[in-house]
Structure 1
Amino acid sequence: MNEADATRVAKEEGCWLRSSIRTITYAAFAAGMLILILASRFLHLGLRRLRQPRIVSEFIVGLVVGNSRILRMILDSHAPSTLEAFAQITRASYMFVNGLEMDAGNILRRPGRDAIVAYAGTAAGVVFFLAMHRPLFHREMLSMVQMENGAAALIVALLLANTSSSVLTRLTTELKISKSDIGRLTVNAGIHNDMVTSLLLCFLSAAAYGGGGEDEKKAAHLLTPSMGLEWAVARALLAAVELAVQACLILKVAPPLMGWVNERNPEGKRMKGLDLSLSLLFLGGLCFLFSRLFFELSATAFLVGLFLPREGRLSTTLIRNFNFYLSAAGLPLYLCSAGLKTDLHAWSGVSVGRTRWTWASSFSMLAALFAVSTAGKVLGTLLSALRYGFRFPEALALGLLLNVKGHLHIFCTHAALVMLLLVMSTIVFIPLVVAAIVWRARRKGRGRRMALQWHDPAAELRVVVGIHGPHNVPAMIALVEATRGGKSQGPLAVYAMDLVELTERAGAALVRGHHGALDAVTVNDEAIRESSAVTTRALEAYAVDSGLTVRRLLTVSHFSNMHVDICNSAEDTLAVLVVLPFHRRQRLDGGMDPGHPGFRQVNEKVMKHAPCTVGILVDRGLGGPQGASASYATRRIAVVFVGGCDDREALFYAGRVAQHPGVQVTAIRFLHDAAGGGGGQEAETRVDDACFAEFYERHVAGGGDGVAYVEKYVANGAETVAALRAMEPLYDLFVVGRGGARSAAMTSGLSDWEECPELGPIGDILSSSDASATASVLVIQQHATKCPLPAADPDFAVI
Structure 2
Amino acid sequence: MVYMMLIMNVVGAMWMNVFLLLLCTKQAGVVVGPTLLSRIRRVEDFFIQASSAEYYMFFSFLCRMLFMFSIGLETDIPYLKRNIRVVSIVAGGGIILASICAVPLLWLLIKVFTVTKSRFPFYLLIFTVLANSASPVVIRMIAESKFDNADLGRLAIYSSLISEMSCVAFVATLTACSSTIRLVGAIIATLVTVLLIFLNNYLPFFFNKRNRHNRFLTNSELFLIIFILLAISLLVESAGYTAITCCFLAGLMFPREGKTCRTLLHKLTYAVNTFVLPVYFGYTGFQFNISKIFNKLTLILTVLIILLSAGTKIVATLAACYYLKIPRNESLILSFLLNMKGNYDLIIINSPPVPKMLWENDIHDLFLSVVVLKTLILAPVVAIWLNRGEFCAHYPTTLEILNPESELRMLACAYIPRHVSGYLSLISALSGCPNATLNPYVAHLVELPKKKKSKLMYHQLEDGDQYSDDEEYGGNDVVQITNALDSFISETKIPAHEAKIVSSFLTINQDVCNGAVDLRVSIIVLPFHKHQRVDGKMENSMEGIRTINQKVIRHAPCSVGIFLDRGQTGFQQPHGSLSVQNIATFFFGGPDDREALACSKRILMHSQVSLTVFRFIQANSSIQNSWISDASHKDEEVVMAISSIGTENEMDNVFVDTFCNRYVAQGKASLIEKYVSDGAETLVALRGILDNMYSLVIVGKGGRANSSLTIGMSDWEECPELGLVGDLLASSEMNFNGSLLVIQQHRHSEEDEALIPP
TM-score by length of 2: 0.64
Conserved? CA contact 2:593–2:703, under 8 Å: no
Aligned residue number for residue 706 of structure 1:
672
Superposition map of 1:184-263 within 5 A? 184-201=154-171, 236-249=179-192, 251=194, 254=196, 258=200, 261-262=203-204
Which structure 2 residues correspond to residues 41-52 of structure 1 after superposition, within 5 A? Answer: 47-49=15-17, 51-52=18-19
**Which structure: larger Rg?**
1
CA distance in 2, matches of 1:459, 1:725: 28
- SS across alignment from 2:411: strand
Query: Which residues in structure 2 correspond to 1:384-403 (within 5 Å)?
Result: 384-403=320-339
Distance of aligned partners of 1:567 and 1:102 in 2 relative to their CA distance in 1, 3 Å threshold: closer
Counterpart residue type for residue 190 of structure 1:
S
> Could you tell me how far 1:162 is from its partner in structure 2?
1.4
Aligned to 1:594: 542
Residue 783 (structure 1) aligns with: 747
Report deviation, 1:778. 0.8
**8 Å CA contact retained: 1:441, 1:792:** no
SS in 1 for 2:440: strand
Matched-pair contact (CA < 8 Å) for 2:150–2:520:
no
How many residue pairs match? The answer is 650
Paired residues of 2:397 and 2:523 also in contact (CA < 8 A)? no
Aligned to 2:526: 581
In structure 1, the residue matched to 2:441 is 498
- Distance in 2, Cα, partners of 1:159 & 1:527: 50
* Secondary structure of the corresponding residue to residue 747 of structure 2: coil
The whole-number CA distance in structure 2 between the counterparts of 1:658 and 1:303 is 40
Task: Report the equivalent of 2:370.
Answer: 419
Residues 422-501 of structure 1 mapped to structure 2, 5 A cutoff: 422-425=373-376, 428-429=379-380, 431-432=382-383, 435=386, 465-468=410-413, 469=420, 471-475=422-426, 495-500=438-443
Mark the CA change 1:580 to 1:403 in structure 2 (over 3 Å): closer, same or farther: same
State how far apart, in whole Å, the 2-side matches of 1:654 and 1:246 are: 49
Partner SS for 1:706: strand
Q: Deviations over 1:733-785 (max 9, x none)?
A: 473444897599x9999999987x76568767876899988462514236356
SS in 2 for 1:130: helix
Match of 2:272 in 1: 326
| Contact 1:618–1:776 under 8 Å retained in 2 | yes
- Supply the distance in 2 between the matched residues of 1:258 and 1:583 (Cα, whole angstroms): 41
Give the Cα separation in 2 of the matches to 1:327 and 1:48.
17
Distance 1:431 1:492 in 2: 34
**1-structure distance, mates of 2:422, 2:595:** 25
- Report if the CA contact (8 A) 1:465-1:580 is conserved: yes
Cα offset, 1:530, TM superposition: 6.2
Give the equivalent residue in structure 2 for 1:227. Answer: none
Of the three residues 139, 158, 182, the one matched with 2:128 is 158
Alignment equivalent of 1:126, drawn from 99, 119, 144: 99
Code of the aligned partner of 2:104: A
> In structure 1, how many angstroms separate the alpha carbons of the residues matched to 2:246 and 2:421?
38
Q: CA deviation at 1:280?
A: 4.5
Between the aligned partners of 1:690 and 1:492, the Cα distance in structure 2 is 35
Alpha-carbon distance change, 630 to 580 in structure 1, aligned in 2, over 3 angstroms: farther
Q: Which amino acid aligns with 2:310?
A: T
5+ residue gaps, structure 1: 1-28, 106-110, 208-232, 485-490, 509-524, 541-550, 572-576, 715-719, 795-799
Task: Quickly say closer, same or farther: Cα 1:696–1:475, change in 2 above 3 A.
Answer: same
Q: Match for residue 308 of structure 2?
A: 372
Displacement of 1:187 in angstroms is 3.5
Deviations 1:336-383 (A, max 9, x none): 3444454545555xxx5xx5x8xxx84x55432221112223333433
User: Where in structure 2 are the equivalents of 1:520-669 lying within 5 Å?
Assistant: 534-536=487-489, 560=510, 563=513, 566=516, 578=523, 580-582=525-527, 584=529, 586=531, 588=533, 590-594=538-542, 600=548, 604=552, 608-610=556-558, 614-621=559-566, 624=570, 626-628=572-574, 629=577, 632-635=580-583, 638=586, 662-663=611-612, 665=614, 667=616
| Corresponding residue number in structure 2 for 1:686 | 642
Cα shift readout 1:147-168 (whole Å, capped 9, x = no counterpart): 9955334314314421222333
Contact 1:470–1:535 (CA under 8 A) maintained in structure 2: no
Q: CA deviation at 1:327?
A: 2.6
Q: How does 1:352-371 map to 2 (within 5 A)?
A: 355=296, 362=299, 365-371=301-307
**Secondary structure at the residue paired with 2:531?**
coil
In the alignment, the residues of structure 2 paired with residue 413 and residue 706 of structure 1 have an alpha-carbon distance, to the nearest angstrom, of: 70
SS in 1 for 2:614: strand
Shift of the alpha carbon at 1:586?
A: 3.0
Amino acid at match of 2:375: M
Which deviates more from structure 2 when the two are superposed, residues 759-768 or residues 422-431? Answer: 759-768
The answer (yes or no) to whether the contact 1:638–1:734 under 8 Å persists in 2 is yes
CA contact 1:724–1:766 (8 Å) conserved in 2: no
Q: Please give the per-residue CA displacement for 1:14-46, whole angstroms capped at 9, x wherever unaligned.
A: xxxxxxxxxxxxxxx9xx59x969985x77765
Match for residue 239 of structure 2 among 294, 318, 328: 294
1:406 aligns with 2:342: yes
Determine if contact 1:737/1:780 at 8 Å carries over to the other structure.
yes
Q: Percent identity?
A: 13
Q: Which runs of 5+ in 2 are unaligned?
A: 78-83, 351-363, 414-419, 447-463, 468-477, 502-507, 661-669
Could you tell me how far apart the structure 1 residues matched to 2:381 and 2:485 are?
34
- The 1-side partners of 2:654 and 2:232 are apart by 76
Measure how far apart 1:792 and its partner are: 6.0
Q: Deviations over 1:572-608 (max 9, x none)?
A: xxxxx74633474736564242388799489737855
* Shift in CA distance, 598/116, structure 1 to aligned 2, threshold 3 Å: farther
Q: Confirm or deny that 1:59 pairs with 2:26.
A: yes
Q: Does 1:311 align with 2:254?
A: yes
Q: Distance in 1 between matches of 2:173 and 2:678?
A: 79
8 A contact 1:585–1:595 mirrored in 2: no
- The whole-number CA distance in structure 1 between the counterparts of 2:539 and 2:125 is 67
- CA offsets, 1:557-583, max 9 Å, x none? 977566467458779xxxxx7463347
Aligned-residue offset at 1:124: 1.5
- Distance in 1 (CA, whole Å) between partners of 2:181 and 2:480 is 46
Contact 1:765-1:771 at 8 Å conserved across structures: yes
2:281 matched to which residue of 1? 335
2:631 is equivalent to residue 677 of structure 1: yes
TM-score (norm 1): 0.61
After superposition, what is the alpha-carbon deviation per residue over 1:181-213, rounded to whole angstroms, capped at 9, x for unaligned? 655544333222212323455677x88xxxxxx
Query: AA paired with 2:630?
Result: G
TM-superposed CA distance for 1:673, in Å, is 8.9
Give the secondary structure class of the aligned counterpart of 2:672: coil
